[in-house]
Amino acid sequence: SMIEGIPYWDVRVSARVASRVIQPATYLEIGTRRGWSLAQVFAEIPEVRAYVVDMWVPGYGGNQGSPEFVQNKMQAVVGSEHTPCIEFIAGNSHDVLPAFFADQLSLKQGPAPKEFDLITVDGDHALQGAWWDLYDLFPRVAVGGAMLFDDLDYIGDEKFLGVFTSSQHARPPMPAYVQSLGEVWQHMASLYPNFVFFNSLRLEHRCGIALRLF
C-alpha cells in the first residue's frame, strides 16, 4: 500500500501479502497476543498448520489474548467449513524454541516441522531477545519462504531484561555495535546472503521482510 506516495507496510500487511504470495503450508509466530497477524495468514490459507509461541503475560501490550480467544477468533476468520489448526506453545521463546526443534515438547500435531514456509518474530522487543529469536529461526525458513520481523524502529525494551530475555540455552553473543532492533535485523542480513531483505525504513511500525532464495 502507499501513504503519501511512500511504499508502506506493517507486520499485518506483510503477513497477508506473504501468505497470498507464498501460500505457506506451515507458519510459526513468536508473539501472538490477540492474533492480528495470525488472522492475516488464516484469511489467506485456512488450512495452514500454525504454531504460535507466547507467554500470555496479563496486560502485555494492552488487552492480552489467550489461546482460547485466539482459537475462537481464527475460527471466525476461516468460517464453519474449516477448523483452524493451531499449536499453542506457552512459554519463553528463548527456552521453548530449542526444545521445540529438538522434539522435546509434546505437540498435538506430532513432531515439529524442521523448517517453515513463513515465520513472524514479534516477540519481547529487547535487543537480546530479538537477537536470540532471529538467531534460532533464520535457519528454519524453508527455501522460497519468508521471515517477518516487526518494529525495526524500536531501540529495544531493555526494561524486560531478566523477564523475557533469560534462557537456559547458550548462543553466540550479540555484536557489541547493535543498538536497535533495526541493527539486529541489518546484522542478520550480513549473516544470511541467501536471503533478500526488504525494509520500510522511513515509516513507523516498520516490519522487515526476508525472502529465502536458496
134-162 pLDDT, tens digit per residue, is 999 999 999 999 999 998 877 765 554 44
Across residues 106-134, what is the average pLDDT? Answer: 92
pLDDT of 6 reads 65
Across residues 16-28, what is the average pLDDT? Answer: 98
In this structure, the number of other CB atoms found within 10 A of the CB of residue 125 comes to 21
Name the average pLDDT for the chain: 89
Pairing of strands 195-198, 207-212: antiparallel
pTM of the entire predicted model: 0.91
pLDDT of 63 reads 75
Q: Which candidate, 74, 108, 95, places its Cα nearest to that of 165?
A: 95
Element housing 6 (H / E):
strand 6-7
pLDDT of 156 reads 65
Q: Are 84 and 47 in contact (CB under 8 A)?
A: no
pLDDT of 57 reads 80
Torsions phi, psi of 116, nearest 5? -130, 145
Does position 53 have pLDDT exceeding 90, yes or no? Answer: yes
Distance CA 24, CA 147 (A): 12
Question: End-to-end distance of the chain based on CA atoms, in angstroms?
Answer: 28
Distance CA 135, CA 33 (A): 22
Query: pLDDT higher for 169 or 105?
Result: 105
Query: pLDDT higher for 126 or 164?
Result: 126
In this structure, the number of other CB atoms found within 10 A of the CB of residue 108 comes to 8
Does position 80 have pLDDT exceeding 50, yes or no? Answer: yes
Does position 2 have pLDDT exceeding 60, yes or no? Answer: no
Q: Are 42 and 24 in contact (CB under 8 A)?
A: no
Element housing 158 (H / E):
none
Burial letters for 15-41: b for 16+ Cβ neighbours within 10 Å, e otherwise?
bbbbbeebebebbbbbbbbbbbbbbbb
Q: Which candidate, 19, 203, 192, places its Cα nearest to that of 120?
A: 19
